[in-house]
Chains A and B, each alone.
Chain A
Amino acid sequence: MSLISSFPIMSSSCNPAQNTIDWTALRSDFPLLSQQAHNKQLAYLDNAATTQKPNAVIEAIAHYYRVDNANVHRGVYELSERATQSYEATRNKVQNFLNAWSREEIIFVRGATEAINLVAQSYARPALKPGDEILISAMEHHSNIVPWQMVCKKTGAQLAIIPINDSAEIMLERYQQLLNEKTRLVAVTHVSNALGSINPVQQMITMAHEKEIPVLLDGAQAAAHLSVDVQALDCDFYTFSSHKAYGPTGVGVLYGKKRHLDAMEPYQGGGDMISSVRFEHTEYNSLPYKFEAGTPNIAGVVGFGAALDYLSAVGFDNIVQREQQLLDYATLKLQAISGLHIIGRAKNKASIISFVLDCAHSHDISTILDHQGVAIRAGHHCAMPVMERFNVPATARASMAFYNNEADIDQLVRGLAQVFKLFS
């Protein structure tokens, strides 16, 4: 596609292992980042909430509406065929991105939240009986807690919680003990949105599979920051959102092993998910369409495809290396500040730093930083049990993407100096 031909990577796209990326040029691919906030250069450090979009994504969406817009899987005319092709091309890209065995295992949904709800309603709910257990961790986002609670309420099953240690790491010995004959599913986050911990999911999946327990991974914070191979992981379900991976909002992915998806009843009924409808009986469509009722977010999926192309061109070796550099730099700078405490000190961390100050509440920190041009998140990060675990009402959270730079972090540190000036 010509849309990414302006991609600024020099020699790296053919050999991503060589870190020859011009990160400054790459940042200019993201038009939003060049703006000012409160008369200061914007330092956008809320990438765990959503990422900014490169021109390639914005242009792909505009191009779709300007040139290719028609409904998919329906019209017998060129325009509809082109729309269908663009939409389905993204499915192939997701398949490659996750290294799924088949494109039929890729279901488009609205986001990671909807993907988890789909599994909860279509996979877990019909199978669960009173006394059964779903095992989640103490560091889950609300979207990997509440759908299971809803299913438990309907079925009489129960949630069991894998505890985390003071460094915000899964306690694997406790996990081993909690895997028992009542456990029907393990649902854990790949990377914690509030703490940054990268969980030992490969090991956790092996441990669960030894007892024939399936595993769902919430990859919302992982997919754009680590290389994910669902066949190597052998996870049963994997979920993530486009908008946290440089694509548009309103699109997400449920990956499921074909044998699970085949056995599951559809989550929603409507057009596109059927092969024949009579008032007496409806035959469902084959995978993946069985789970995609109604006209999908076509433009969003097309834009998401452009985001995946962009990510592949940068390459995960480069992304991981750059984001670890930024994490190390930010950790050094922040931990040197007296009266600042980092919450979440896992050995294996993604580029997310949650912190609290002795002198100021995270909301006050965020307001003052905003006036210094620094956008961070303050609050419980939709992970209230995590806040409880670490005995804090809320945290401030800086989360970095590969387009951030050391200057953004310096701006954060200077902004924090203003907070100290005001509050201590």
Chain B
Amino acid sequence: MNEELRALYQEVIIDHGRHPRNFKKLEEPSCCQEGYNPLCGDRLTLYLKVDHNKIIDASFEGVGCAISMASTSLMIERIKNIPIIEAQQLFEAFHLLVTEPSPTVKTLEYLGKLTVLGGVRDFPTRIKCATLGWHALKAGLDNAASEQRVSTE
């Protein structure tokens, strides 16, 4: 197997793809956001529990390829117990990781374990797989923020 493929399907990705973590429905979530890729049919639901602008719990369910499942699983591990604003920064950094030819050292350090998904940048048709869960996160946080605004006004 060649290097590009090995870089894409690292063991962490195979492991999380096969056994996604936090793969369940969340009781009483603040929001549940569907992510759907009409090109391939991958579909997931992301559950978020938000309190005082902080993600206190997250989980997901769905069907998809190893890349979309692993990416979402790894994302959830990382976003638990962080402020919403930091999750939004992570989204931006992750986007750079999978689309930029050579992301900066700062970006790589910031993303840590999530950099295993960097190999996807050599597979343009698979970038949407890697970002599916992340787009659901962004939409979910935007919705949660607007709901919170509505509820506090």
Residues of A within 8 A of B (CB): 38, 360-364, 367-368, 371, 378-380, 384, 387, 393-394, 418, 421-423
Contact = CB atoms under 8 A, between A and B. Distances in A.
B14 interface: yes
Contacts of B39: 379
A363 B67 CA distance: 9
A360 B1 CA distance: 17
Interface stretch (B3-11, B80-88, B136-144): B3-11
A168 B111 CA distance: 47
Contact of A361 (B4, B65, B125): B65
A50 to B, nearest CB: 17
Nearest to B125: A367
Nearest to A39: B2
Nearest to B1: A418
A394 B40 contact: yes
- What are the 8 closest A-B residue pairs judged by CB atoms, nearest first? A361-B65, A363-B65, A393-B41, A394-B41, A393-B63, A380-B41, A379-B40, A364-B66
B129 interface: yes
13 contacts: A360-B65, A361-B64, A363-B67, A363-B129, A364-B17, A367-B8, A367-B123, A368-B5, A368-B9, A371-B1, A384-B41, A387-B41, A393-B42
A384 B1 CA distance: 33
Contacts, number: 56
B43 interface: yes
Interface of B: 1-2, 4-5, 8-9, 14, 17-18, 39-43, 63-67, 123, 125-126, 129
Contact of A380 (B17, B40, B123, B129): B40
A393 B43 contact: yes
A380 B8 CA distance: 23
Contact of B14 (A362, A380, A422): A422
Nearest to A421: B1
A421 B126 CA distance: 20
A376 to B, nearest CB: 13
B66 A371 contact: no
A233 B58 CA distance: 58
A375 to B, nearest CB: 12
Contacts of A360: 65-66
A363 B5 contact: no
Contact of A393 (B9, B14, B64): B64
B2 A363 contact: no
Name the residue among A362, A380, A393 with the largest chain B CB count within 10 angstroms: A393
B41 A364 contact: no
Contact of A378 (B14, B17, B40): B40
Nearest to A395: B41
A394 B64 CA distance: 9
A368 B123 CA distance: 11
Nearest to B5: A371
Contacts of B42: 361, 363, 393-394
A371 B123 CA distance: 11
Contacts of B129: 363
B120 to A, nearest CB: 10
Nearest to B126: A367
A378 B129 CA distance: 13
Contacts of A380: 40-41
A386 B84 CA distance: 40
Given A387-B41, A394-B41, A423-B14, A38 B67 contact: no
Contacts of A418: 1
B99 to A, nearest CB: 18
Interface-central residue, B14, B18, B66, by most chain A CB under 10 Å: B66
Nearest to B62: A393
Given A363-B126, A363-B129, A371 B2 contact: yes
Nearest to B8: A367
B2 A379 contact: no
Contacts of A393: 40-43, 63-64
A303 B17 CA distance: 46
